[in-house]
Amino acid sequence: MKGMGRRLGRTPLFVLLPVLLLVMAFERWPTGGRIKWQSSVDTAAGGFVLGIRDKMGDMPRDYRVSFQVLTPREREYTAHRRVAAGHDEWVEVVFPRDFQAQAGDLVPGVYLCTYMVDNVPTIQERFRYEVSGSRRRILDRRSLFLGPPKKF
């Protein structure tokens, strides 16, 4: 270990500088560049609401969220929202209203919803939508973090 300090002291600056800049690039946000995403699914008048947020407001630039819904009838619908950098509030859409879908497209059954940030799948929700009289319920919800975007 003693010799390590001597060797580092002799390392040319042009070798250390790029390494230092690379480390700084990955650590430029308080979370180390990792965005903490949070998702939600709940019932709403006439359907259900899907939501996502950058929990800490760490996203350093504006971005676009796409919500893809695959219905029990194997139909796919998409809605989009633009979000400002540093926004830590919920970004929400209601199915079927915000998806250019008809009220008849909302049927009981299993739904698969994918939340994409700048066209990269980020979170996936799977749940069963149930209607009993005037009561609507979300059951058997499973959330899956798909990966990027962790760093920007």
Instruction: Kindly tell me the sign of the dihedral angle through the C-alpha atoms of 51, 66, 88, 98.
Output: negative
- pTM, two decimals, is 0.74
Distance set, CA 102 to CA 72, 75, 95, 106, 115 (Å)? 14, 12, 9, 8, 21
Query: Is position 132 within any domain?
Result: yes
Domain span at residue 111 reads 37-145
What is the total count of domains within the chain? Answer: 1
pLDDT digits (tens, 9 = 90+) for 105-120: 999 999 999 999 999 9
Residue 117 CB contacts under 8 Å (≥ 6 apart), including other chains: 37, 52, 63, 64, 65, 149
The separation between CA 101 and the C-alpha centre of its own chain, rounded to angstroms, equals 23
Span 40-44, mean pLDDT? 96
Query: Is position 62 within any domain?
Result: yes
Span 75-100, mean pLDDT? 95
Q: Domain with 139 in it: what CATH number?
A: 2.60.40
Kindly report whether the peptide bond that precedes residue 96 is cis, defined as omega within 30 degrees of 0. yes
